[in-house]
Amino acid sequence: MPGRRLPTWMSSESENDPKMSEAEMKPMEFCGKIVLVANENEASLICEELLQECRAQAPFTHSDWSPFVVGFDAEWDVNNYSRNPKSAVVDLVQVCCSEQTVYLFHLARMNSFPVELKRLIENPQIVKTGVNVRGDIYRLQRQFNLSNKGSDVIDLGELANKVLKCNQTWSLDRLCVHVLNRQLPKTESIRCSQWSEFNLSSDQIKYAALDAYVSWKLYCDLANYSKT
């Protein structure tokens, strides 16, 4: 909207402000419950509940900012990818739709893709948000024959550019610093770790949950701001 002033922390020129430096910022953390799901029946039960919750909210989904939004992310073995791009498969899908819970669906341990997770991804009423989330969805579509038209996918970089009225290429950690005023502890070694491993380490679990939570949180902040 013309003439509206952004709070300084959201302004794209805020680099010039004497604001908190990145080093002074607290690290972002997720304090809710992390549910690691390693079998397809349990995954389907959880997704069925999420779908029901979405249906219960359906009368309110006609605004510009659909209220049923999930932070969405996926992980795979990056090193495997560089050896043979075609063989890289998604090992983990992360979903967050509240302050309370993040679900980690460990596909690497499942024999087939959970039916209800497929429905959740394909359901246009459930908005999937994240940085480069289209790439994650595309990869899943190719691997598991899902159909997603893309209308229910919101890239956080694009949303940030719209709300902040700028034109930048955003990473999740830059958005976290700029919008939430928090550092995102990015550990390259964890990002590039083996997500196909039968037992994920506690660092992998924490990292994966945080990515989905931060995506959800960023969406809420950006969408809320645009409503005020």
Question: Which residues sit at the interface with Zn ion, rule CB under 5 A?
Answer: 73, 211
- 64 or 188, CB closer to Zn ion? 188
CA-CA distance, 91 to 195, in Å (whole number)?
A: 6
Least separation in angstroms between CB 12 and Zn ion: 25
Residue type, 31: C
Least separation in angstroms between CB 114 and Zn ion: 19
- 40 or 75, CB closer to Zn ion? 75
Least separation in angstroms between CB 200 and Zn ion: 13
Q: How far is CA 177 from CA 19, 27, 204, in A?
A: 12, 9, 22
Least separation in angstroms between CB 225 and Zn ion: 24
Least separation in angstroms between CB 75 and Zn ion: 5
Dihedral sign (CA 170, 174, 178, 184) = positive
Which residues sit opposite 94 in a β-bridge? 73, 104
- 54 or 214, CB closer to Zn ion? 214
Question: Which single residue brings its beta carbon nearest to Zn ion?
Answer: 211
- 77 or 211, CB closer to Zn ion? 211
CA-CA distance, 208 to 87, in Å (whole number)?
A: 22
Least separation in angstroms between CB 206 and Zn ion: 12
Name residues whose C-beta falls within 8 Å of residue 152's C-beta, 6 or more positions apart in sequence. Answer: 123, 124, 125, 126, 127, 128
CA-CA distance, 132 to 156, in Å (whole number)?
A: 8
Least separation in angstroms between CB 195 and Zn ion: 10
Q: Write down the H helix ranges in the chain.
A: 40-56, 78-83, 115-122, 133-144, 156-164, 172-180, 188-191, 202-227
Q: If you search the block for the tokens 């928090």, which residue do you land on? A: 182
Q: Which of 61, 54, 144, 58 is nearest to 95 (CA)?
A: 54
Which residues sit opposite 74 in a β-bridge? 93
